[in-house]
Amino acid sequence: MQYRPLGRTGLEVSVIGFGASPLGDVFGVTDPEEGERAVHMAVDEGINLFDVSPYYGVTLAEERLGAALRGRRERVILSTKCGRYGVDNFDFSARRIAASIEESLGRLQTDHLDVLLAHDIEFGDLNQIIEETIPAMRQLQKQGKARYIGISGYPLRPLVRVVQAVPLDVVLSYCHYNLLADDMDAILAPVAEQFEVGLINASPFSMGLLTEQGPPEWHPAAKATRDAAKRAAEYARSRGADLAELALRFCFDYPRAATTLVGMVTREQVRKSLRALERPADRQLVREIHAIFGDAFNSSWLSGREENQ
């Protein structure tokens, strides 16, 4: 396993991060026992960053991850989130943040978190995030309930604004650095480096677009983007490659992100991530895939409040 520093936190995180949202059945019903075995394998293979949220499966993912990490908690860097609790259920108030961490600690069967992130801040009032949410999270840090704090979200500009406005330890961006998009590198990464904030990259498959089976029906990408991704998967297959594995390696090679979170819920998915890390990157094939994407490259979708786009 390879490790990188997470900003100025002093934490060394594995370049493969365990995204635990699938434990909450958010991509389909899963086998909880296999999910637990996947967590155990990941820990044994040196994957040390585990990220979850009360939103995933409406607390189910946290409950399952907490159970799976019994006896292994001291071997991992555990991250969860606050502020988002349902599709349209957001509360970034100081009072809710304080209650949320207590609930998460109980489900995760631990007395502290290593990282606490405000979840999908584009759905909140950024002034509240800056003036109320982050200070409340700092209080939890002082109480020893969270070692480090940060923010997460999809649109890049709100993340940049908050990083520039208030001291943070970590920022998580998803779907903005993978085979289909690299705008995080120009917009967010330089700001994270300037302020020494640890950068977490998430969703190397762009929420299923960069896989053989394709995205779920609810995926917000435009039809042209979906079609381009399907052509890319077919082309990779014709070259004897798997688009998802190519996508994984592309993200693992990105040096400005400390880690890339990969959603995993089976041992085979853990093995696939490990294989991608072991095999050399095919840069020529990556260039050919990028050519297939054409205008779909760096396309995005709306997420959050209108004023935060």
Which neighbouring-strand residues pair with 128? none
Q: How many residues does the chain have?
A: 309
Assess contact for 74 and 41: CB atoms under 8 A.
no
Rounded CA gap, 207 and 300, in Å?
12
Assess contact for 81 and 119: CB atoms under 8 A.
yes
- The two tokens of residue 213 are 């089976």
Residue in 56, 85, 154, 254 annotated catalytic: 56
Rounded CA gap, 187 and 61, in Å?
31
Whether 56 is catalytic is: yes
Rounded CA gap, 208 and 231, in Å?
14
Q: Which residue type does 38 have?
A: A
Rounded CA gap, 39 and 50, in Å?
9
Rounded CA gap, 228 and 28, in Å?
24
Return the biggest CA–CA distance within the chain: 55
Assess contact for 45 and 274: CB atoms under 8 A.
yes
Please identify every residue annotated as catalytic. 56
